[in-house]
Amino acid sequence: MSLPAMQHPESISFEDFLATLDEDAHAEWVDGQVVPMSPVSERHDAVVGFIYAILRGYVRRKKIAGRVFLDGFQMKLGAVRSSRVPDVAFVAPERMHALRDTYLDGPADLAVEVVSPESRTRDRIEKLREYEKAGVRDYWLIDPALRTAEAFRLTGGAYAPRDLGSPARLTCEALPGLWIDVAWLWLEEPDEWVAYEAWGLI
C-alpha cells in the first residue's frame, strides 16, 4: 500500500505544495493532501530508465519538438484536483504551451507507470481513473514482477484497453511510428541500443 498522506488541518493548495516540496522529495498532491511515495527497487529503476532512454532517443532522432520527462516532474490534473508524477511522460509539440518551470499544467499525451507491489492499487485504479478523466491520451502500465504490460488509449472520453498483438508491442498515438517490443522490458540489462537498431535509427 502507499505511504499515508501528510495530513494538514486544512488542505494545502497546489501552489503551497510546490513551494514547500524539496526537489529531492518524491511526493504527489491529491485532493489537497501531500502523499509521499515509497522508494523504488533496482529493477523498477532499470525499467523506468530504459523506457525514458528509448523514448527520448526516438524523439531526438526523429526531431520531434515534444519533451520526454523522467519521474520527478509534476503533472497537474485540474479535472480531478491532483498532481501526479508519472514514471515517464511525453508531452507532444502541440501541448508544449502547458509546460511550466516545475510542472506540466494539464495532462501529458503519454503517461507510463512501472508498477511496484505497493503501487498496484494506486496505478491500476486511482491513477487510471484520474488520467482518464484528465485526458491523458495514452497510459501504459508495466509490471516487472509479473512481466505484464498493458496499454490504454483514450477513446470517446474513456480508456479502452489496447491489443498489443503478437509479438506484444506498445505504441503511442502522439508518437507515430514508435513501437516498443515488450520483451525488451524483461531483459536482464535493458539497453536502448536494442531499440535504436530495431527501429533502423543506427
Q: What is the pLDDT of residue 11?
A: 85
Higher confidence at residue 9 or residue 59?
Answer: 59
The residue assigned the cell 503501487 is: 119
Q: What is the pLDDT of residue 64?
A: 96
Q: What is the set of domains in the chain, with CATH numbers?
A: 40-198 (3.90.1570.10)
For 20-41, what is each residue's pLDDT tens digit? 877 666 788 888 888 887 777 8
* Average model confidence (pLDDT) across the chain: 90
pLDDT category of residue 108 using cuts at 50, 70 and 90:
very high
Q: What is the pLDDT of residue 2?
A: 38
Q: What is the pLDDT of residue 26?
A: 78
> Residue 23: left (phi > 0), alpha (psi -120 to 50), or beta?
alpha
CA distance 179 to 177: 6
Q: What is the pLDDT of residue 72?
A: 79
Give me the sign of the Cα torsion angle 19, 4, 27, 90.
negative
Q: What is the pLDDT of residue 21?
A: 79
**pLDDT above 80: residue 172:** yes
Average pLDDT over residues 184-193: 92
Q: What is the pLDDT of residue 48?
A: 96
> What is each CA distance from 107 to 144, 152, 185, in whole angstroms?
25, 15, 25
Asked whether the whole model's pTM tops 0.85, one would answer yes
SS3 for 185? helix
Q: What is the pLDDT of residue 120?
A: 85
**Count of beta carbons in the 10 Å neighbourhood of residue 100:** 10
With DSSP H G I counted as helix, E B as strand and the rest as coil, what are the percentages for the chain, rounded to 5?
A: 35, 25, 40
**What would the DSSP string read from start to end of 125-146?**
IIIHHHHHHHT-SEEEEEETTT
Higher confidence at residue 196 or residue 8?
Answer: 196
Average pLDDT over residues 77-83: 88
Q: What is the pLDDT of residue 198?
A: 95
Q: What is the pLDDT of residue 41?
A: 85
Q: What is the pLDDT of residue 35?
A: 84
